[in-house]
Amino acid sequence: MAQLVKRAFRYRFYPTDGQAAELSRTFGCVRLVYNKALEERTRAWFGEQRRISYVQSSAALTQWKKTEELAFLAEVSSVPLQQALRHLQTAFGNFFARRAKYPRFKSRKKSGASAEYTRSAFTWRDGRLTLAKMSAPLDIRWSRPLPEGVVPTTATVSRDSAGRWFVSLLCEDSIVPAPATGAAVGIDAGITSLVTLSTGEKIANPRHERCDRVRLAKAQREMSRKAKGSANREKARRKVAKVHARIADRRRDFLHKLSTRLVRENQTVVIEDLTVRNLLKNGTLARAISDASWTELRSMLEYKCAWYGRELVVIDRWFPSSKLCGACGTIASKMPLNVREWTCDCGVVHDRDVNAARNILAAGLAASACGDGVRPQRESSRTGLSSVKQEPQRATAGTPRP
């Protein structure tokens, strides 16, 4: 049975000079309203122990527009400004619920430039999008069609650090679950092989950042020679940003294709709950781990499994997948990172990654069947951050953590 989900479709567009100027003004006003409202709420909370609601912030925005100093806020569409206040309200809600840190001020250089338009602030006619305060529709490159008969509910316009313009259209899409299959797969994430499957297949790591490392270093050297604040430095910065954008785009495309394939071919997908933030503390491997982007792969698997009726099982981060013999159940005392193949006392020769993937699959299927995890015998000590993945003694299976 098909289910309705909110789905964003992102496209690149090329604005005219007038549209670019209008959007740039809107971005600046959105950032100013967000920062000013955050300043007011911070002063009220720390100075008076008083909370300011969204309604109060919205009323304050109306008063700001009436002042001579901030009268220019009335020159842009009011909807993106109101949406900025709603985003700030959400940020404070997450903070008070202890789901996020205290909201931070938006920087012109470090924060992404974006503005969100709701249905009342844009016109959608014959497949063309016209934003408020604009007379002509945006010149969008339709790399893929929107679902037939779907009208966007929200349009988010953004400009990345490389100067590229994008519009993200939020729609309600009907997704049909994929045909059921009895296949299941365990996935062991790595660096040499991005993922190793329990079937024995190893998918090589494309290493997108390494492929463009020479180009990136050259662009960074050229930027360092330019005078700060000059137009030439801004041009050089754009070149650096374009290299970074190329790396990110290629990585994202590869992960989308990989995750879609895994979800289509398997009814059950089992992965590890890796603490990537802790693993990045390893200075030797941090760059390679960041390039692998395990967190982004997991995120894709999570929502695609939910969309297409698949089961995603996440086993505990302490499960000793690499040290556990899949034949006899013996746990090796040590397993240095340079050991890629090892022989158990029972005589079975294991490929480190394939054995880990098969152990992950077995633990995930056991957890899915009984609702609990496999708990091997605890050892006297735990491994630290010297290895790529933490593989201590305790092993439980669970659900994805927030």
* CA torsion through residues 176, 181, 182, 184, sign: negative
* Burial of 148: CB neighbours in 10 Å, binned 0-12, 13-18, 19+: exposed
**How far is residue 50 from each of residues 27, 40, 90, 187, measured CA to CA in Å?**
29, 11, 17, 49
The whole-angstrom separation of Cα 2 and Cα 270 is 24
Q: E strand or H helix at 63, and its extent?
A: helix 54-66
Q: Are 208 and 296 in contact (CB under 8 A)?
A: no
Name, in order, each residue with C-beta under 8 angstroms of 256's C-beta and a sequence gap of 6 or more: 300
Backbone torsions φ then ψ of 364, nearest 5 degrees: -65, -40
* Burial of 162: CB neighbours in 10 Å, binned 0-12, 13-18, 19+: middle
Active site residue ranges: 188, 272, 353
Q: Are 147 and 2 in contact (CB under 8 A)?
A: no
